[in-house]
Amino acid sequence: CSGNFLYVTLELLKRLEGEVLNTLHDLGQSQQKLEMENVTVTPANLLGIEVNPRAAAIADLVLWIGFLQWHIRTHGTVSSVPEPILRNHHNIECRDAVLDWDERKPMVDEEGKPVTRWDGRTTNPHPVTGQEVPDPEARVQAYTYTNPRPAPWPEADYIVGNPPFIGNKRMRIALGDGYTEALREAWKELPANIDFVMYWWERAAVLVRQGKVKRFGFITTNSLKQTFNRKVLEGHLLAKKPLSMTFAIPDHPWVDSADGAAVRISMTVAAAGSNNGTLCEVVKEVDSASDEAAEVTFEVEQGWIHADLTIGANVAAAAKLKANTDICFQGMNLVGKGFRVTEEEIQGLGFDPKSLPEVIKPHCNARDMMQAGEHQYVIDLFGMTAEDAKAKYPTLYQRLFDRVKPERDQNKRESRRRNWWLFGEPVGKLRKAWAGLPRIILTPETSKHRVFSFFHLPFTPDHKLYAICSDDAWILGVLSGTYHKVWASTAGGRMGVGNDLVYNNTRCFLPFPFPAATAAQQARIRELGEQLDAHRKRQQAQHSQLTMTGMYNVLEKVRAGKTLTAKDKTIYDQGLVGILKQLHDELDIAVAEAYGWPDLAHCHSGLDPESRKTQEDEILHRLVALNAERAAEEAQGHVRWLRPEYQNPGASDKSQGSSAKGSTAAQGKLEVEDDVTLSPPKGDSAVAAEQRPWPKELPAQAAALREVLTALPAPADVATIAGHFKGKRTPKRLKEMEALLETLAALGGARKEGEGEELRYGAA
């Protein structure tokens, strides 16, 4: 823990101690007696682990300075402090906090020569191209670690910290290959693609659940709630002896102490058991005129905090649906800027931009899509050997040899060094999925606005884009509607200084339940999807400076009733944003009808922020319930494939699931061709995934029951409701639940339907 964290903790503990002393004084006790009995708070009570020797010494000194300042404020002098005034309790340990080992040895090759790596920073201009390339002389020693294992932590009552902000993709560069591999070997139970901070979170969570620590709290980057890190949180929140988050701020402005850069962070506090927590969401930020931190305004909510740091519908626990598989992919990671070429460069390589060979394809990244960046192409030699490429396209081969190979020669992956003329991630599955399609749908991985747009093939999307391999505007229309945007913003979360929305296949696309629309409903959504895509493209073609981000910035202002600036008015006129708004409003109505939710058709029209949030919460609850229904359908063999001819070729019409009767959420039951009512599947299903511990305290039990009732697609009996909680459905538990459900119904927190054996409970 940093010295600043310990100093602030000491200040707060001494303040609390002062309150205790004042109370004891009022009761006739003396402060001196308390201190003589060695129950006063001193720096010895605060422990820390710091890998930097200088920082460790400073942390120890800061603690004592803070303690002496408090003593002088309280007593007016330090004369009563026993000498030596500064003591070394060895409570700040200078060592690694998450990795321990027997020996760290310099790595050597088979000939006994030291193995080194590029330092990740130093570059030189290439002698031919002039571009900056890795300096082959800037090398640092690589190390191996003998017997790597998790580092021990000292015994403590509470844990606080601000671990290093190192993402999973930067760990090898920042920490070295040897350390990264040793760390992952020592923590084999954790996914390899988590951020560095998650090793602290995991260790603290285990200690709290074991009863060795009362609580812990960490400041982390806001990627904590991203899919890869969220798995660590879910493992503890859903365990047999669970952990719960008692306090969380999902997203907050911060300044990185390492380099002073502005970042976005999350704050989490956790304790053992199943308890509701306090969630604080930043709703307003005002930058300080001085160097002080930004002033923020919070919206505070109480309830069970999920792994994605939300309260309400548990989107993070939604099941992946077979219906959406093999459709959505991340774009291609080039791993080499030399693959990109402009029209001018294409001409210099001897090709006509109007008649390009198949290996030169249009290309764009997320910034190009949203900000109308430079029109670019890429050299894509997928499927060719180096010799084939050199023989057939010598000028392209030489360009890659000069501009890509020097960088690839320093790459950590042997396959990327060996196949230097090919993209780092060519994504063969993506190429297979779009084969035969005239166009695909693209959306940025990270962006201020969640926008979907058609791009015509042949085309090579950057890895900062996600490609949905469908040419059907009905799919584009549903994805462009408010319902998917609300889902995706919650499931994907936000990250970066701009607090931008994040999209991915695993949590945003795969679990999302598309509506079981009729042919007429699909046709209407398809028509509006085509109009929406054509409208934006037409206006951008007429105005070269008009961007997607600009249009949707203005659209947000129009919906919020804000006054437009002169620049906004120009964008409004150029983008015909009034028509853009109308298309989105009509699309929301059409998609709501397809879902069978006409009451949610007007998600933006004239709603104040509080009403809008209430409506978005309702959308999430219904989508989570629909996801559970679809998972139940699929467990029974009924899959509503998005592209049945590609995803499940040769199957019967019935197994394709394309003729389901209307919207399942609107009907309340799962109806398939044979009118069979399906029960939730056992095993790995959405219902099983949402199974939670049964709280011990009555208020928490009531809150847990309300959440389950809200997530249910239809009212259910007590036994079914009990199945959403871990543990045996004993007569005693069923009786307790029934009594509590009756109380909730009497207070308006639940509703009752039927009597006797037909008695059911649902959300109010």
> How far apart are the C-alpha atoms of 292 and 274, rounded to whole Å?
37
User: Mapping DSSP to helix (H, G, I), strand (E, B) and coil, where does residue 215 land?
Assistant: strand
Site of tokens 């928490």: 700
How far CA 482 is from CA of 478, 493, 502, 589, 591, in Å, comes to: 8, 16, 16, 10, 9
- Are 50 and 56 spatial neighbours (Cβ–Cβ below 8 Å)? yes
Q: Output the six-digit token pair for 262.
A: 């502005």
- State how far Cα 499 lies from the chain centre: 12
Segments in the chain below pLDDT 70: 1-3, 29-38, 80, 82, 85-86, 256-261, 288-293, 373, 603-606, 651-690, 746-748, 757
Contacts of 486 (CB under 8 A, 6+ apart): 603, 616, 619, 620
Read off the amino acid at residue 59: A
> How far apart are the C-alpha atoms of 215 and 200, rounded to whole Å?
13
Q: Which helix (H) or strand (E) holds 99?
A: strand 99-100
> How far apart are the C-alpha atoms of 41 and 13, rounded to whole Å?
7
Domains of the chain are 1-95 (no CATH), 336-422 (no CATH), 694-763 (1.10.10.10)
DSSP 469: -
Nearest Cα residue to 433 out of 516, 324, 319: 324
User: Mapping DSSP to helix (H, G, I), strand (E, B) and coil, where does residue 56 land?
Assistant: helix
User: Mapping DSSP to helix (H, G, I), strand (E, B) and coil, where does residue 207 land?
Assistant: helix
- Are 327 and 647 spatial neighbours (Cβ–Cβ below 8 Å)? yes
Nearest Cα residue to 41 out of 74, 83, 4, 79: 74
Q: Output the six-digit token pair for 489.
A: 């913003």
Sheet holding 465-468, edge to edge: 328-330, 465-468, 439-444, 453-456
> How far apart are the C-alpha atoms of 197 and 168, rounded to whole Å?
10
Contacts of 37 (CB under 8 A, 6+ apart): none
> How far apart are the C-alpha atoms of 44 and 109, rounded to whole Å?
46
Q: Which helix (H) or strand (E) holds 398?
A: helix 394-403
User: Mapping DSSP to helix (H, G, I), strand (E, B) and coil, where does residue 523 land?
Assistant: helix
Q: Number of C-alpha atoms within 13 angstroms, CB side, residue 613? A: 9
pLDDT at 646: 96
pLDDT at 683: 36
CB neighbour burial string for 687-708, b if at least 16 within 10 angstroms, e if fewer: bbbbebbbbeeeebbbbbbbbb
- How many other C-beta atoms are found inside a 10 Å radius of the C-beta of residue 439? 19
pLDDT at 434: 97
Phi, psi of 555 (to 5 degrees): -60, -40
**In a 10 Å sphere around its CB, with 0-12 CB exposed, 13-18 middle and 19+ buried, how is residue 613 labelled?**
middle
Q: Output the six-digit token pair for 244.
A: 């719960």
Q: Output the six-digit token pair for 642.
A: 């998005």
pLDDT at 606: 65
pLDDT tens track for 666-706: 433 333 333 333 333 333 334 444 578 888 887 788 888 88
Strand 243-255 to 262-272 pairing: antiparallel
> How far apart are the C-alpha atoms of 524 and 87, rounded to whole Å?
77
Q: Give the DSSP letter string of 231-253.
A: HHHHHHHTSSS-EEEEEEEEEEE
Q: Which helix (H) or strand (E) holds 504?
A: none
The per-type count for the chain, helices as H runs and strands as E runs, is: 28, 29
> How far apart are the C-alpha atoms of 541 and 677, rounded to whole Å?
51
- Are 509 and 330 spatial neighbours (Cβ–Cβ below 8 Å)? no
Q: Give the DSSP letter string of 332-362.
A: BB---GGGEE-HHHHHHTT-BTTB--TTEEE
Site of tokens 């403590």: 156
> How far apart are the C-alpha atoms of 688 and 317, rounded to whole Å?
9
- Are 466 and 501 spatial neighbours (Cβ–Cβ below 8 Å)? no
> How far apart are the C-alpha atoms of 487 and 491, rounded to whole Å?
6
> How far apart are the C-alpha atoms of 425 and 605, rounded to whole Å?
43
> How far apart are the C-alpha atoms of 123 and 146, rounded to whole Å?
32
pLDDT at 290: 60
Read off the amino acid at residue 183: L
Nearest Cα residue to 197 out of 170, 235, 157: 170
pLDDT at 678: 32
Q: Tell me the angle at which helices 519-542 and 548-560 cross, rounded to the nearest 10 degrees.
A: 110
pLDDT at 684: 35
Nearest Cα residue to 719 out of 711, 69, 728, 710: 728
Strand 439-444 to 277-286 pairing: unpaired
Site of tokens 């704050």: 267
- Are 254 and 262 spatial neighbours (Cβ–Cβ below 8 Å)? yes
Read off the amino acid at residue 676: V
> How far apart are the C-alpha atoms of 232 and 656, rounded to whole Å?
35
The greatest distance separating any two alpha carbons of the chain, rounded to the nearest whole angstrom, comes to 96
Q: Output the six-digit token pair for 729.
A: 């459905």
> How far apart are the C-alpha atoms of 625 and 92, rounded to whole Å?
50
Q: Give the DSSP letter string of 36-48.
A: HTT-S--GGG--E
Q: Output the six-digit token pair for 646.
A: 């590609």
The length of the chain in residues reads: 764
User: Mapping DSSP to helix (H, G, I), strand (E, B) and coil, where does residue 270 land?
Assistant: strand
> How far apart are the C-alpha atoms of 549 and 446, rounded to whole Å?
12
Contacts of 58 (CB under 8 A, 6+ apart): 3
> How far apart are the C-alpha atoms of 440 and 470, rounded to whole Å?
5
Phi, psi of 674 (to 5 degrees): -95, 15
Nearest Cα residue to 549 out of 571, 531, 582: 571
- How many other C-beta atoms are found inside a 10 Å radius of the C-beta of residue 245? 23
